[in-house]
Amino acid sequence: MSLGCGAEDGHMSVKKIIFLDDNEDLRIITSRLIKNQLGIDCITCASYEEFINQSEQILDSNLVILDINLGTEATGVDAYHWLFDNDYKGKVFFLTGYDQTNNLVEDVRSEGAAIFQKPLETKKFIQLVNQAIL
Amino acid sequence: MKFYNLKQITAFFYIATLIHYLIIIIYFSNRAPELIIYHSYSLVFTSLGLISLRVFLKKVKPIFIGIMFVGLTLVLSYGILLNHEYYVENFKNFQPYIGIKLLAFSIALLAPTPQWIGWTSLAITLVLPLSQYYSWSAIYRDQLGIQEPIMTICFFVAASAIYINRLFTVKLLKKEIISLEKIAIYERLTNIIEGLKHLNNTPLQTIEMSLQLLRAEFPQAKSLIDSIERSYTEILKINNLLGKSATPATLKSASTIKEFERDIREMGKYLQT
């Protein structure tokens, strides 16, 4: 997979993006940016628990953007595995502060996940999101 | 791995000598009471030396510790010479200079540094017995057997070889330990840098996106946003430079500010030790 774990999203009508990150400011800004630049609703989650509690919304979304380190034992990698286990049809990519040499990053990369390192240029970020939800 | 310094080696030498004198005094009290007086003085000397080492351990200069080491060698050697004087005068059967030979080997194994301490002490184990030997008449010398004084010289040579080898080995091992410590410091430092970079990345992402939002929503604040963006770009450059280090697999870089504080504190402690 080049950018996510599925591409059968043609059946979904209203575009929806999920953003999982423990940093509140980044959640607010990212959600606002996506709405501002693409006119798409972005649902944010602060933790893995919050993420899986919104399973219906998440499985119905077109794109999930995951942070790896959530400041808790559960990481974005757990969320990634949860998506796989629940047969998620949308696309997924990681946006993490971790370096490419980090063990967790290497692990998820070996599983075929797309990983981008923070701080990602806004233009590139919007471009990625756009490509993913097309 | 831990290396003993000169103070510790000297203290060990004094403790061993103290035990030695206690045993000797008990052993000779019936067999050769004439020897007890000198050995008792030596026991007092050793005890005082040990107390001095204990009391002045932190204040005393290395040269004085060296002198104490050599001094004890002299005291021990002289005691052995007195024993021999007594043996030959009384036509006793004995192993010639066995105490001196053991002393020479012990010095070589203890490997005191600076080297003048070791070499002076070893020289004492050669010069003193030879001086005594050649000061004696042929009757006394004959009691030592056909192998002397060559055997004493051979032991000195062997002890010197062991001392040289020990010095070389200790030097090599010390170098290795220093290298390992340097690597450990480097690993901790790269871990801190990695943690710093990682913790910076999310706030930087927020600033990056905020700048774009501000541009879109407040075009009138363009010059102000440009200034912030220039400063942001500078910080970004520095942050990217931090990313050139690689954290070793043995360490886990900080994921939170709390963990980062812990790493900094631990690094400080490590450098202090």
Contact B204 A118 (CB under 8 A): yes
Report the residue count for chain B: 273
> In this predicted structure, which of A14-23, A103-112, B220-229 has the lowest mean pLDDT?
A103-112
Mutate to test the interface with A, among B206, B217, B259 (most CBs of A within 10 A): B206
> Shortest CB distance from A26 goes to which of B202, B243, B247?
B202
What is the interface size between A and B, counted as CB pairs within 8 Å?
Answer: 71
Q: Is the pLDDT of residue A4 over 70?
A: no
A31 touches chain B (CB under 8 A): no
Contact A29 B210 (CB under 8 A): yes
B197 touches chain A (CB under 8 A): yes
B170 touches chain A (CB under 8 A): no
- Helices assigned H by DSSP within chain B: 6-31, 36-55, 62-89, 98-110, 115-135, 138-142, 150-217, 222-242, 257-272
Asked whether the beta carbons of A30 and A120 are under 8 A apart, the reply is: no
Local confidence band at A8 (pLDDT 50, 70, 90 cut-offs): very low
> Shortest CB distance from A33 goes to which of B198, B213, B255?
B213
B57-70 as b/e: b if 16+ CB within 10 A = eeeeeeeebbebbb
Q: How far off is chain A from B271, nearest CA to CA, in Å?
A: 26
Q: Which residues of B touch A101 (CB under 8 A)?
A: 246-247
Q: CA-CA distance, A25 to B203, in Å (whole number)?
A: 8
Asked whether the beta carbons of A72 and A48 are under 8 A apart, the reply is: yes
Q: What is the mean pLDDT of residues A127-134?
A: 90
DSSP assignment of B175-203:
HHHHHHHHHHHHHHHHHHHHHHHHHHHHH
Local confidence band at A15 (pLDDT 50, 70, 90 cut-offs): confident
Q: Which residues of B touch A67 (CB under 8 A)?
A: 202
Per-residue pLDDT of chain B (273 residues; tens, 9 = 90+): 556 788 888 888 888 888 888 888 888 777 777 777 777 888 888 888 888 777 766 677 778 888 888 998 888 888 888 888 888 888 777 788 998 999 999 999 989 888 999 999 999 999 999 999 999 888 888 888 888 889 999 999 999 999 999 999 988 988 998 888 888 888 888 888 888 888 899 999 999 999 999 998 999 999 999 999 999 999 998 888 876 655 555 667 777 788 888 888 888 887 776
User: Phi and psi (nearest 5°) for B63?
Assistant: -60, -35
B1 touches chain A (CB under 8 A): no
pLDDT attached to residue B198 = 84
Asked whether the beta carbons of A65 and A20 are under 8 A apart, the reply is: yes
Q: Which residue of B has its CA nearest to A26?
A: B206
| Neighbouring-strand partners of residue A20 | A45, A66
Q: CA-CA distance, B149 to B130, in Å (whole number)?
A: 7
Full-model pTM: 0.61
Q: Which of A10-14, A93-97, B24-28, B90-94 holds the top average pLDDT?
A: A93-97
> Shortest CB distance from B255 goes to which of A32, A37, A71?
A71
Contact A69 B236 (CB under 8 A): no
| Neighbouring-strand partners of residue A18 | A43, A64
DSSP state of A23: -
Classify residue B187 as exposed, middle or buried by CB count within 10 Å of its CB (0-12, 13-18, 19+): middle
Q: CA-CA distance, B189 to A68, in Å (whole number)?
A: 23
Asked whether the beta carbons of A45 and A2 are under 8 A apart, the reply is: no
pLDDT attached to residue B38 = 79
Could you tell me the two tokens for B137?
A: 């008449």
Of B92, B111, B102, nearest in space to B151 by CA: B102
pLDDT attached to residue A11 = 46
pLDDT attached to residue B244 = 61
Contact B246 A25 (CB under 8 A): no
Could you tell me the two tokens for A123?
A: 């233009």
pLDDT attached to residue B58 = 67
pLDDT attached to residue B50 = 81
